[in-house]
Copies of this chain bind each other. A is one copy, B any other.
Amino acid sequence: MQTLEHLPPLLRRYGGVVFLSAAPVAVALEFFAPERHTALFFASILAIVPLAGYLGRATDELAGHFGGAIGGLLNATFGNITELIIGALALRAGFTDLVKASLTGSIIGNTLLVFGLAALAGGLRHRVQHFNRTAASLSSTMLLLSVVAMVVPAVFHSLSQHRGAGTELRMDTEIAVVLLLTYCASLIFTLKTHREPHQPSHSTRRMSVSRSFALLLGATAGVAWMSELLVGALSEATRALGMSELFVGVVVVAVIGNAAEHYSAVRMAIRGEMDAALSIAVGSSIQIALLITPLLLFLSYAIAPTPMNLLFTEFEIVAVGFAVLTIAMIAHDGETHWMEGVQMLAVYAILVLGFYFLPSGG
């Protein structure tokens, strides 16, 4: 859904250079100076941005080729494949808490930061922006579901501490199944029974199917490679930067990992297409919460040293809870103005302050 070609000319020219040179730099560092963890960390993160853009571009092209429900399905399942790849590689390396933190960060980032920026930027140009209330209401409740799925394991854990980690994991796995089934049901709803008559396509197809597939494969491989480097440099880099793993996961990885969504959503909002902005921002949060999270949990059985459960930290739960409440209160009336953008950014700022100051292991 997002590609570098959407960037304004100047940023494309120079920003493009920075982003595209990041991958070679990362590879070079890996080979010649693998001890420069912080540089490697940032280079690999920067390199992921354009690769994620290409992944989105390829998905868009394929979705356009197949069209209709299959196209929608492609977008709905591959839309956050970058997060899935980074998450899987980090899980394999044992960074369970960081993966969960980046899931949290993606949810609150897409909901509050991306949609907040979109509402603010769009609101500065348009007095009031309207969007489909039914879709917004459906989305808020989907996100509420993810909060329920975070709170139940936390309460369980606090009541049965130090015994029954096995029971806990079994419960979490079954909860993940419920989340995944609900996500599938929502696809049937959105793509089949309650499909919007003519959803405007935001991409003009210019690639053949085979080229799109090649791009998809290439970008996936690239993202995987860069994620591998990122995960390898993680421990040392966070220590050198003096930031907790939680903060890196929630803010740094999540914000940069969703850079493309930021740009697309803001651009749609400025154009006055608030429905598209909402769908990118909140739709992405829902995908993370109800598709990527269960998939990572299932995957973790196979690839991780210990399986990932759904036990998030108290502060992560609070953060997602407030993000959902905020979006519910702002979106329920089907309109936004710039001040609501400010409010979302203010909630995000306070939450980020909390994550920044929180001691490690919080």
Contact = CB atoms under 8 A, between A and B. Distances in A.
Interface of A: 127, 133-134, 137-138, 140-142, 144-145, 147-149, 151-152, 155-156, 158-160, 163-164, 167-168, 170-171, 174-175, 178-179, 181-182, 185-186, 189, 193-194, 314-315, 318, 322, 325-326, 328-330, 332-333, 335, 337-340, 342-343, 346-347, 349-351, 353-354, 356-359, 362
A242 to B, nearest CB: 13
A323 to B, nearest CB: 10
B182 A342 contact: yes
A136 to B, nearest CB: 9
Contacts of A346: 145, 178-179, 181-182
A166 to B, nearest CB: 11
Contacts of A149: 350
A332 B332 contact: yes
A270 to B, nearest CB: 17
Contacts of A133: 333
B362 A167 contact: no
A148 B350 contact: yes
A339 B140 CA distance: 13
Q: How many copies of the shown chain assemble into the complex? A: 3
B338 A189 contact: yes
A346 B362 CA distance: 30
B148 A351 contact: yes
Contact of A171 (B134, B339, B342, B354): B354
Given A145-B347, A338-B193, A354 B138 contact: no
A96 to B, nearest CB: 19
A295 to B, nearest CB: 17
Contact of A357 (B163, B167, B356): B167
A342 B185 CA distance: 8
A333 B332 CA distance: 8
Given A144-B322, A144-B326, A152-B354, 15 more contacts: A138-B343, A141-B326, A141-B329, A141-B330, A144-B329, A144-B347, A152-B350, A152-B353, A155-B318, A156-B357, A179-B346, A181-B346, A194-B339, A332-B332, A332-B333
B359 A160 contact: yes
Contact of A175 (B134, B163, B335, B353): B353
Contacts of A337: 134, 189, 194
A342 B158 CA distance: 29
Q: With a 10 A CB-CB cut-off, give which of A149, A151, A318 has the most chain B CB atoms.
A: A151
A329 B142 contact: no
30 contacts: A127-B194, A138-B340, A140-B329, A141-B330, A144-B329, A144-B347, A145-B343, A148-B347, A152-B315, A152-B350, A152-B353, A156-B358, A159-B315, A159-B362, A160-B358, A160-B359, A164-B359, A168-B357, A174-B353, A175-B350, A175-B353, A178-B346, A178-B349, A178-B353, A182-B343, A185-B342, A194-B339, A328-B329, A329-B332, A332-B333
